[in-house]
Amino acid sequence: MDDLRIGAIGLGHRRSLAVAAHQEPGRGSRVTAVSDLDETTLLNEAEFFDAKTAETDYRRLLDREDVDAVLVATPDHTHAPIAIDALRAGKAVYLEKPMATTVEDADAVLRAARESGSRLYVGHNMRHMGFVRLMRRLVQQGQIGTPKSVWIRHFVGHGGDFFFKDWHADRSKVNSLLLQKASHDIDAMHWIVDGATEAVQAMGGLTVYGGLPRREPGEPGPEIRPSREQWPPSEQRALNPVMDVEDLSLLNLRLDNGVLAAYQQCHYTPDYWRSFTVIGDAGRMENFGDDPGGSIRLWYAGRRNYDPAGDAEFRIPDAVGGHGGADDEVVREFVRFVREGGATDTSPVAARMAVAAGDMATRSLRGGGALLQVPRLEEAVRAYFENGQVEAG
């Protein structure tokens, strides 16, 4: 079987996805074309992948008949238009999360996939992370009874380095970090408890980074890497010229299966980790670490005081590769789906629901904290994707 010929569009922070897709000949997929706006990056990556096609304009890449599929890993605000162009050009699309920055644009991507018949895959790689898969399995086994609530705390210890020195700090590029960053966690939470958000209420603000020194417009940005050279957060310098996204967000959610959830995100903590707690009517579970070597602990016997050991502990399995092995797994699933179709652990509809929750949460946050309903997806579009991207009947 010939290798799937992939065009990589955007080779910045998430170039690791293209690397994962670039297998040895005969192993299933190869990166044969590259596109990036930065000409130096483009030349370097064309050499790295030995790509015959290198274009600064991705639309010329879409015109090529020797490209079967594209991997879109560009800044968030470009996801929807590039994906729609690629789908209409007949290319299978791997679209990095979030699939769009508004619910309206997410719906437009889904409609384009249905109308074109081109296959769409959204890279919510957390569904392939060991701790998420383990928590989902424990819930499905009934280890804590029926889920009733989820509490998520996301401590983004390097937020000042990764999210406030480039386009992530600009709401015109990301909408909000409550969408950009939290869409991962919201999608994972939906999957763990088998539900989707139907109503949200949020509060937050730009509480630390807003008054710190910024670069002049047009001035080259610093290398983006986690650092403790500028600590505490008030010592951060060379922040993005435009900064109008929140660095602290608090979100309440109601899911369509009755689960109530709370999500908290802070971008100036001294540590970095995700804490998921799932509470059922017969117990609760919590992760201690989200990488291999961590664990999930369960409490299901009554006690008067806190017991850190719990009643059972399950080790997060070992894995190799980015994001606990999830990057390799999500690319592998995409290639298999393009070739064979069938069920996938990721879901374009679920990706839309994560965007919808984050988008409406942002509107609530910036509109005084009102309770807002998540717009419903058109039923015919939902049915198309739930039927494996094939029209029913």
Residue 190 has pLDDT above 60, yes or no: yes
The domain segmentation of the chain, as residue ranges, is 127-315
Separation CA 28–CA 46 (nearest Å): 20
Q: What is the pLDDT of residue 220?
A: 83
Q: How many CB atoms lie within 10 A of CB 294?
A: 16
What confidence tens digit (pLDDT) does each residue in 9-66 have?
999 888 999 999 999 998 899 999 999 999 999 999 999 999 999 999 999 999 999 9
Determine if the pTM surpasses 0.85: yes
Cβ neighbours of residue 124 closer than 8 Å, sequence gap 6 or more: 97, 183, 184, 187, 188, 330, 346, 347, 350, 351, 354
Average pLDDT of the segment spanning 276-286:
98
CATH 3.30.360.10 fits 127-315, yes or no: yes
Average pLDDT of the segment spanning 342-349:
96
Q: What is the pLDDT of residue 102?
A: 98
Bridge partners (DSSP) of residue 155 are 266, 273
Q: Which carries the bigger pLDDT value, residue 252 or residue 321?
A: 252
Question: Residue 8 — very low, low, confident or very high, per pLDDT cuts 50/70/90?
Answer: very high
Q: Estimate to the nearest angstrom the gap between the alpha carbon of 215 and the chain centroid.
A: 28
Residue 322 has pLDDT above 80, yes or no: no
What confidence tens digit (pLDDT) does each residue in 323-339 have?
777 889 999 999 999 99
Q: What is the pLDDT of residue 75?
A: 96
Is residue 149 within 8 A of residue 279, CB to CB? The reply is: yes
What confidence tens digit (pLDDT) does each residue in 207-253 have?
999 999 999 988 888 877 777 777 899 999 899 999 999 999 999 99
Is residue 166 within 8 A of residue 328, CB to CB? The reply is: no
Q: Based on the number of CB atoms within 10 Å of its own CB, is 16 exposed (0-12), middle (13-18) or buried (19 or more)? A: middle
Strands of 197-290 (E only): list them. 197-205, 248-255, 260-266, 273-280, 283-288
Q: What is the pLDDT of residue 356?
A: 98
Q: What is the pLDDT of residue 224?
A: 76
